[in-house]
Structure 1
């Protein structure tokens, strides 16, 4: 299960997409233990050593320039890797989860003006930062824009556009100029100099499509559409959709001017002209009947600027890349294949744990859990063990939010299959309570710890190792809620039992003793904080 690695560091896990310029992989950074996007670009037209050396120099220079676009609307460039043969290059970037802007374009349900303006305003903000570097996108289109759960946009592929510069050399897989005919400005079609105004033209094409659900020009072939971009006048928006404000129609027509200098001065000017169509801070959202169902709201950042991150259980569901778990473990049909896959996953996960790569160690197990569940049953002992192992790794890595629902589900599953007081069920209940405590859900955590303690005492007694640990959690949680007397009623007997069972010099005994001493020094419960010494 060892994945291919780039530069000995970036492990390629799943191919996300492929196209004429190469492939995009979901990967893991082995050093920082985080997901990354690895873009493999194949400069197929490089045929000589001189070309390769020139490309290598430009690649490094442009990758560094691209990395200077410091804006949250641009996925950050983490690394740029060129192999020694100059035959393959990799951009390592922030992995973005989101839904394509293309999904918001529907001829049968055009977007509200505020939504279209909000998308365009965010894109123009990104372009203003990029053009200041300067970096020109050259291929702005809905497919290169992702919308996050909070309604923010991420403009993709600045890195590729900056490196595969069509005004320097043509090195795409087909040898054709970079760009998409439905959004390509006249100067790019004609092979003239591409400038920031070229990106503004593409933005005009995108805004037109967001507002009316169809492209500016819709010829049957790339050649026809390119010819239309150069020679045909765009149809005014209000002839297609009468409710469009006249000033917004004027902005789109200005963006689509054939001569670059006749377009708005820059991306900032575009943003300023969009401001009147953006919702004011504190204003209500658009009626649900006029917007895409369950979609991220691009107006949120304008209606509630600098708002906190939305809670996980209220964030809209996004279209995300989901690995094909069956493809990840190809030999699942024979029992030996499944056993070998699980064994390899556990071994690889252990290796990653030794390197403190907790996120990837958990994912390696996740890959085999689904197919193992289908083959053996979702509540078979091995599948539950794999799930518990993965959840424990999430806890070790501090990912309590993802671990909590899994431990809740595991506790319920173990209760059904082995009984409520069996060790596996109790351990999962305890871990769920611990996660709740770490997430600040003190009341719920306390209630759950008390439930666990009652079950443990019936099975193992009050001074068992498990009971002592749970009693400590309960005492600390009571202190955190300001219930000092109740906490002391737990912690002082706990300290006495620890002295008897483990001795005064044991780490756990000393820890509880120090807690009692601090409470006593603070005058907790009238200075009667116990006799720890």
Structure 2
């Protein structure tokens, strides 16, 4: 293809380059024609990066990173994100094929306006559309990292789109986007960089929110918040200086909107809006009349709401029909009756419900968001109370089957499942699934999400066969409507793989989890948290299959990747390290496992305290591996300490407490104290029967331990009677087809019963 800047060409025999329409630090953008489909497209050609182009290793890493990030960008399907059609490499040049956008970016709009600020109504509209797009991308774990006016397009029809997702991540990942000198890549522009980007700290979705605040400040005042020619002065401004209020520049900015922008520009990420969804809910009311002095007379709805009707869902397959919060004023009658022929839902015969006041809907949206925030903090009981109250009011104002009412009921179910009330959660999710099917259709993503949660709760209840049926049906619907590679489809397949392992179908579970891990790595990247969750499940299946060497290698890979991506103290990183210890123990490498668990316990104490359940789990591992090394007096003391704390913190009959109690009995047996061991084994068996039922595998294992102990005491008649009883219960369970692995003891290191003297 040669130098794309000097002549046109035909890429891969398909994309004919017509003219350069933009140049930037990473290459050129061409207007092109896709000759296979006969449509106009934009093709971004990435140029070699300065002196590093001669470094073969750098080029290889860049090429692989480009493919990964291009797949991420291509997976984004939202009206506010530029669509990526294709990508590849041709004659040494990496290229990305995108939709051709007809419009102007925000930087061009300002220039067209003589660097004068844009009208308030237009600013609010742009802010709402960008927040909507960021809510979508951030919800999929994607951070832009280089949001600026030149990367936000205002199309001729008024639609706003964010450009260069994936390309910004590409530069950031190569360690070049945040440098102000070096390879000359114009990314991470200092006027829009967050303080954490400048300081080299951890960057998450709130960094994008800060950059958006800089953009809104500029289009509202005509200049960015720290407008200096010297780059260092700009960076110091971001780090140390509070920006001037917008209304110091112009008096017609609504006070509430000014507050939003200043909140976005908070120096600490924790002081900014929690997420783009919260921001989106604040934006439109902030631009409305009465929200500040000299507000504009009206703020129009975003252009994409044109043509929406009050009560009849749009016909496009897969379209999310729940209206965004800022279009709540469009709401009317949503209660519908499903057409038995599978056609669109049709309005019910009931008279139309009057539209509730917009102010009420906004208040309810804010309270709903507060409930979500409580859940993110782990305060599930409080979150549930908030969602119950909001659901009742939404049901009264909007109807029981309105998407907003069902969204609140969905969160009630989620809170119930996280507080151990699985039966109640199951009823709630089933109710939501039925309502969404009536209103939105059986294959709508929200309906499928509710059905998937139903399957999850069935698994919590140990009803894995039923869960398997639901997961299988949901997976088929997701593959049919979204495609096999869609993130939601992959999430369902992951859950199905997890459930298969609980059914004892370990080979199937391992194979499916491996497929999902590969697909997620291809779409999201090898170190994306979702990819690592599935690789963790692959390792678990390997361990259950007795392939501990492979399990150890996989757990170590996951622990290392999580440490890099999430930090060494993140709960997921620590959980993977715990599994490394189990694998070492299973391979007979007790000394290494002991050292690992001691380090892990110290880290857990530092992060969560000495009585956190995960701290106690690590301490349990210390005791187990002391026993493996024959240090039984120390092992027994450790088991007794952990058992006592678990009984106080978790309860006498909690499975973890019972595992520790069993370890006490094991230690007593190895020390020849069989009378004491028998008492403890009986307590454990009785506790498991109370928790799981008499014929549960763990209860049967407890009685088996008791029988073995009776043998060591010479009480053979009692032992044989107990063995017969266990065999009968096991046989009865087998005829019922039951195999309940809802509690998986393989993840809690434990010893076999010691042999007799």
Q: What's the TM-score once normalised by structure 2's chain length? A: 0.36
Q: How far apart, in 1, do the equivalents of 2:178 and 2:233 lie?
A: 24
**Which residue of the partner structure matches residue 161 of structure 1?**
168
Structure number with the higher helix fraction is 2
Q: How far apart, in 2, do the equivalents of 1:42 and 1:116 lie?
A: 34
**Which residue of the partner structure matches residue 704 of structure 2?**
none
Q: How far apart, in 1, do the equivalents of 2:184 and 2:116 lie?
A: 38
User: How far has the Cα of 1:304 moved from its partner?
Assistant: 4.3
Q: How far apart, in 2, do the equivalents of 1:46 and 1:268 lie?
A: 40
Q: For the Cα contact (< 8 Å) 1:41–1:90, is it kept in 2?
A: yes
Q: How far apart, in 2, do the equivalents of 1:38 and 1:303 lie?
A: 29
Q: For the Cα contact (< 8 Å) 1:236–1:253, is it kept in 2?
A: yes
User: How far has the Cα of 1:30 moved from its partner?
Assistant: 1.6
The 1:261–1:162 alpha-carbon spacing in structure 2 relative to 1, beyond 3 Å, is same
Q: For the Cα contact (< 8 Å) 2:33–2:41, is it kept in 1?
A: yes
The 1:305–1:264 alpha-carbon spacing in structure 2 relative to 1, beyond 3 Å, is farther
Deviations 1:189-241 (A, max 9, x none): 22223221111011111111222222211112222212211121101122222
Deviations 1:76-135 (A, max 9, x none): 111111246xx4210111111112223443588543432211110101111111212222
User: 1:77-156 counterparts in 2 under 5 A?
Assistant: 77-83=84-90, 87-105=92-110, 106=113, 110-156=117-163
Q: How far apart, in 1, do the equivalents of 2:240 and 2:168 lie?
A: 26
Alignment counterpart, residue 277 of structure 2, candidates 264, 268, 272? 268
Q: For the Cα contact (< 8 Å) 1:79–1:91, is it kept in 2?
A: yes
User: 1:131-530 counterparts in 2 under 5 A?
Assistant: 131-166=138-173, 168=175, 174-175=183-184, 178-278=187-287, 299-301=301-303, 304=306, 306=308
Q: For the Cα contact (< 8 Å) 1:150–1:298, is it kept in 2?
A: no
Deviations 1:460-496 (A, max 9, x none): xxxxxxxxxxxxxxxxxxxxxxxxxxxxxxxxxxxxx
Q: For the Cα contact (< 8 Å) 1:201–1:255, is it kept in 2?
A: yes
User: How far has the Cα of 1:137 moved from its partner?
Assistant: 1.6
Q: For the Cα contact (< 8 Å) 1:150–1:300, is it kept in 2?
A: no
Deviations 1:298-326 (A, max 9, x none): 7452884639xxxxxxxxxxxxxxxxxxx
User: How far has the Cα of 1:150 moved from its partner?
Assistant: 1.8
**Which residue of the partner structure matches residue 58 of structure 1?**
65
Structure 2 residue 26 is the aligned partner of structure 1 residue 21: yes
Secondary structure of 1:194's match?
Answer: coil
User: How far has the Cα of 1:72 moved from its partner?
Assistant: 1.4
The 1:242–1:150 alpha-carbon spacing in structure 2 relative to 1, beyond 3 Å, is same
User: How far has the Cα of 1:41 moved from its partner?
Assistant: 0.7
RMSD: 3.0
Higher RCO by CA contacts (8 Å cutoff, separation 6 or greater): 1
Q: How far apart, in 2, do the equivalents of 1:277 and 1:305 lie?
A: 24
Q: For the Cα contact (< 8 Å) 2:103–2:153, is it kept in 1?
A: yes
**Which residue of the partner structure matches residue 385 of structure 2?**
none
Secondary structure of 2:172's match?
Answer: coil
Q: For the Cα contact (< 8 Å) 2:17–2:32, is it kept in 1?
A: yes
Q: For the Cα contact (< 8 Å) 2:26–2:185, is it kept in 1?
A: no
Q: How far apart, in 2, do the equivalents of 1:158 and 1:257 lie?
A: 24
Secondary structure of 2:274's match?
Answer: coil
The 1:218–1:168 alpha-carbon spacing in structure 2 relative to 1, beyond 3 Å, is closer
Q: How far apart, in 2, do the equivalents of 1:209 and 1:299 lie?
A: 22
| Count of residues in correspondence between the two structures | 292
Secondary structure of 2:40's match?
Answer: strand
User: How far has the Cα of 1:62 moved from its partner?
Assistant: 1.1
Q: For the Cα contact (< 8 Å) 2:25–2:184, is it kept in 1?
A: no
Q: For the Cα contact (< 8 Å) 2:178–2:197, is it kept in 1?
A: no
Instruction: Report the more deviating stretch, 157-166 or 99-108.
Output: 99-108
Deviations 1:409-438 (A, max 9, x none): xxxxxxxxxxxxxxxxxxxxxxxxxxxxxx
**Which residue of the partner structure matches residue 74 of structure 2?**
67
Q: Which 5+ residue runs of structure 2 have no aligned equivalent?
A: 1-6, 290-294, 310-757
Q: Which 5+ residue runs of structure 1 have no aligned equivalent?
A: 281-285, 292-296, 308-533
Secondary structure of 1:253's match?
Answer: helix
The 1:176–1:236 alpha-carbon spacing in structure 2 relative to 1, beyond 3 Å, is same
Q: How far apart, in 2, do the equivalents of 1:305 and 1:274 lie?
A: 22
**Which residue of the partner structure matches residue 34 of structure 1?**
39
Q: For the Cα contact (< 8 Å) 1:63–1:162, is it kept in 2?
A: no
Secondary structure of 2:244's match?
Answer: coil
**Which residue of the partner structure matches residue 593 of structure 2?**
none
Q: How far apart, in 2, do the equivalents of 1:170 and 1:142 lie?
A: 17
Deviations 1:228-284 (A, max 9, x none): 11121101122222332322221111100111121111111111110203569xxxx
